[in-house]
Structure 1
């Protein structure tokens, strides 16, 4: 294999040249290769699922950049080299994350208790819903949480006395702008 160092002609070059060559950048090196050929294998179910998700992400991002107000929000979140379209596309593909070690050990079933969950998203968490169910699965209460001043925590204040809370479950559902849902259930 031939190597060329400090070549001013190919330095930083990327893309297709004619029908023959492709230039790529990998780890600061310029790689020249034959043009890749389309696969003749039929796509797998997983591949089709990913293609469908990407298609929906493109539609979502395209709609975002057509609405000037929403586009401005995504532009504000864009980092160097990113567009509003890029940020919206990524936002569609990734849902909110709820802290892994979520615990409601302080919950005693009384009205007015504050249940707190740390939730982040690559763009913005749109809303968070808390539900409390008893050991039999019956709904005790449900409602929207409010975002704390730190912007990380979401706080739900209980509104119903629940004397038989032991063995029950607190369900936290977080939603982002595109409507992705993340759900965590915590035994109490």
Structure 2
């Protein structure tokens, strides 16, 4: 791969020459590379799955650009020459990450707080919390709310008492705007 420098005739060019050389513009630089040629053979199931995910990400990014509020959020998240469309595409192509479930404030009483640190391209659309007994019975569930000053945190306020604390499972599900979900759980010792 080569870059075009100080050549006003080739700068900004894109396309293929003589089925050998491929010109494209990447991050405002003209890049010259070998023509990849035609694909041979049928795509594998894994390749088809990647193509489906790519198509889904494109469709979501197009949808997000039509929603002024989403577009503004993605524009704020765009970095390093990216567009809002690029940020929306990246959001659709990746799932949220739950970095931490802080249960130090959970003592099994109503009003206790569980803090969740979840990230994505833009803050996740929802962060759900389910509290399960050691036997697997759901004690309560609900939505965590964004922290007032730290956009990385969501706070869940406990609404049901739990006398049998050891073995209690806290299951957190973060869902982003495109619909990707991540689940993480922790067990109270």
TM-score tier, shorter chain, comes to: 0.7 to 0.9
Indicate whether 1:99 and 2:99 are aligned: yes
Under a length normalisation based on structure 2, what TM-score does the superposition of the two structures give?
A: 0.82
Quick one: structure 1 residues 19 and 161, their matched pair in 2 at CA, closer, same or farther if it must change by over 3 Å?
Answer: same
The root-mean-square deviation of aligned C-alpha atoms, in Å, is 2.8
Shift of 1:72: 3.1
Alignment check: 8 A CA contact 2:128 2:143 kept: yes
Under a length normalisation based on structure 1, what TM-score does the superposition of the two structures give?
A: 0.82
CA separation in 1, counterparts of 2:90 and 2:128? 23
Indicate whether 1:150 and 2:150 are aligned: yes
1:133 alignment counterpart = 132
Alignment check: 8 A CA contact 2:58 2:89 kept: yes
CA deviation string 1:88-144 (max 9, x = no partner): 1111111211115x4525532111111111111112221211110001110001111
2:107 alignment counterpart = 108
Alignment check: 8 A CA contact 1:13 1:30 kept: no
Shift of 1:46: 1.2
Please show how residues 1-188 of structure 1 align to structure 2 within 5 Å: 8=7, 15-20=14-19, 21-23=21-23, 31-33=32-34, 35-99=35-99, 102-148=101-147, 149-188=149-188
CA separation in 2, counterparts of 1:30 and 1:59? 27
> How many residue pairs are counted as aligned between the two chains?
183
The DSSP-based 3-state class of the residue aligned with 2:71 is helix
Alignment check: 8 A CA contact 1:12 1:30 kept: no
Gaps of 5+ in 1: none
The DSSP-based 3-state class of the residue aligned with 1:81 is coil
CA separation in 2, counterparts of 1:106 and 1:69? 34
Gaps of 5+ in 2: none
Shift of 1:155: 1.0
